[in-house]
Amino acid sequence: MGNTSRRTFLKNASLVGLGWHLPLHNLIIPAAGYQPKLAFSTLGCPAWTIEEIVLFAAKHRYQGVELRGILNEMDLTKCVEFSPSNIAVTSKLFTDNLLTITDLGSSASMHFIDAATRQKNMDEGKRFIDLASALDCKFIRVFPNNLPKNQDARPTLDVIANGLTELGNYATKTGVMVLMETHGDVVKSADIAYVMSKVDTAAVGLVWDFYNMWIQTKEPIEAMYKRLTPYIHHVHVKDGKMVDGKEQYTLLGRGEAPVKQAIQLLNKNKFKGFYSFEWEKRWHPEIEAPEVAIADYPVAINQYFS
């Protein structure tokens, strides 16, 4: 990072840290004795700087931000904001604005069998664990991710479980947990529960993306939740529908996904993690701008916390 860029970053970060004089709005109506926590993924705002992310989150009464890339860099361990000279400033930027970094979203996938490819993914997971530890962040996210076609899935599910165990064992000494997202081909609750039963460490859990599961399997939400609830530490929330055979994301509550059932189950059981809005603007540039969608989410989800 050049000296001019670094000075600009430090100046902007300082200004944001002083900017916590914001209106109270978009308040959640929780179940009795329960205060749900809202976050959004930076997947939804790929053109925003770290300062813009923090200001928007604070203004719209979020409690956390899920980091999944900053600007053009998807590998957070390579972002200038988390370099040794800037990491303390970045961390302070969040804490000064009463925001939690909920988790770090890696691209590490656990299904690979090829030794070199597998090692590359393990190394990425370990780098993210080290960064999470430095940021005092509780979780990193990894993918399961692909299953062989027309073959028994069990051997690959075992490989995934072994990868999670390796990363979990590495994370144990740091206090960080490794969370596998329900993603890719691993979206049946029976397969996910099987993987988790084979993981040999307590430092592994789940990101429950019920939409990823439902859009492919149409499995009832109640069945998913009953089977997976012991492992759920973080939740992705999004909505969508099928249009002419193609998946189409919508603003929350405008689609066909069973969002209400999922949120009310979590709310009823006083889920302690974050409800993180995953608006996939980076991968789908045609969907609504983040200024619209991320602002809408706290208002839209409020209807389910009654």
Question: What amino acid is encoded at 185 in this protein?
Answer: D
Residue 14 lies in a domain: no
For the chain, the DSSP string reads: --HHHHHHHHHHHHHHHT-------S---PSTT---EEEEEGGG-TT--HHHHHHHHHHTT-SEEEES-BTTB--GGG-GGGSTTTHHHHHHHHHHTT-EEEEEEEEEES---SHHHHHHHHHHHHHHHHHHHHTT--EEEEE-----TTS-SHHHHHHHHHHHHHHHHHHHTTT-EEEEESBTTB--HHHHHHHHHH---SSEEEEEEHHHHHHHH---HHHHHHHHGGGEEEEEE-EEEEETTEEEEESTTSSSS-HHHHHHHHHHTT--SEEEE---TTT-TTSPPHHHHHHHHHHHHHTT--
In a domain, 3, yes or no: no
Number of domains in the chain: 1
Are residues 50 and 16 in contact, defined by beta-carbon separation less than 8 angstroms? no
Residue identified by tokens 């979780």 is 139
For residue 108, give its domain range.
34-302
Residue 19 pLDDT: 38
Please report whether residue 262 resides in a domain: yes
- Predicted pLDDT at 34: 74
Q: Is residue 29 part of a domain?
A: no
Query: Considering the entire predicted model, what is its pTM?
Result: 0.90
- Here the CATH number for the domain that contains residue 145 is 3.20.20.150
Cβ proximity of 41 and 297 under 8 Å: no
Whether 43 is in a domain gets the answer yes
pLDDT of residue 2: 39
In sequence order, the 6+-apart residues with CB closer than 8 A to the CB of 29 are: 302, 305, 306
Low-confidence ranges of the chain (pLDDT < 70): 1-33, 306
Structural domain contains residue 103: yes
Give the CA distances from residue 96 to residues 20, 79, 92, in Å, rounded to whole numbers and listed in that order. Answer: 8, 21, 6
Query: Is residue 150 a part of any domain in this protein?
Result: yes
Residue 16 lies inside a defined structural domain of this protein = no
Taking the C-alpha atoms of residue 193 and residue 176, their distance in angstroms, rounded to an integer, is 21
The pLDDT, as a whole number, for residue 32 is 61
